[in-house]
Amino acid sequence: MLGSWPGSLVIPEPALGETCSFLRNNVRRGAFLEATLLEQLTTGDYEIVNPTQADRQRATELARHMVAAPLGYVDATVIAMAERLHITDVATTDLKFVGMAQGITKIRPLAWPFHESH
């Protein structure tokens, strides 16, 4: 799905770190998959973006606003960065992120890049 996306692809650095950690610690052959992902990112048409201080401040506001929900650092930072960069389409496999984001920002989910069959 992302390979056919007509716009530029921006990857928040915190989400990349979280993804690498998840692969390495929770997936069989995770270290190999992590290395493959990183290799693809160096050759693909992606922009990896670091959060600014303003993004971290906005993420703190969002986390405080959503204190009863599981809005952690990475999710809040992704929302803050998307707001700053005027990005409304976010590809994610995290269903809870989409539900929380829709209540506090204009971010909308794309079709899921991965789909688990039940």
Domain that holds residue 32: 8-50
Report helix angle 73-84 to 53-65, nearest 10. 120
19, part of any domain: yes
How is residue 109 written in tokens? 């989910």
pLDDT of residue 108: 59
pLDDT of residue 53: 98
pLDDT at 91 over 80: no
3, part of any domain: no
Instruction: For 108, list phi and psi in degrees, rounded to 5.
Output: -130, 150
pLDDT of residue 63: 85
Predicted structure pTM score: 0.75
Number of domains in the chain: 2
74, part of any domain: yes
46 and 63, same domain (yes or no)? no
90, part of any domain: yes
What's the pLDDT tens digit per position in 39-83?
988 887 888 999 999 999 999 998 888 766 777 899 889 989 988
pLDDT of residue 116: 39
pLDDT over 70, % of the chain: 73
Q: What is the C-alpha to C-alpha distance for residues 57 and 8, in angstroms, rounded to an integer? A: 26
pLDDT of residue 102: 58
How is residue 58 written in tokens? 């906005």
Q: pLDDT: is 32 or 9 the higher one?
A: 32
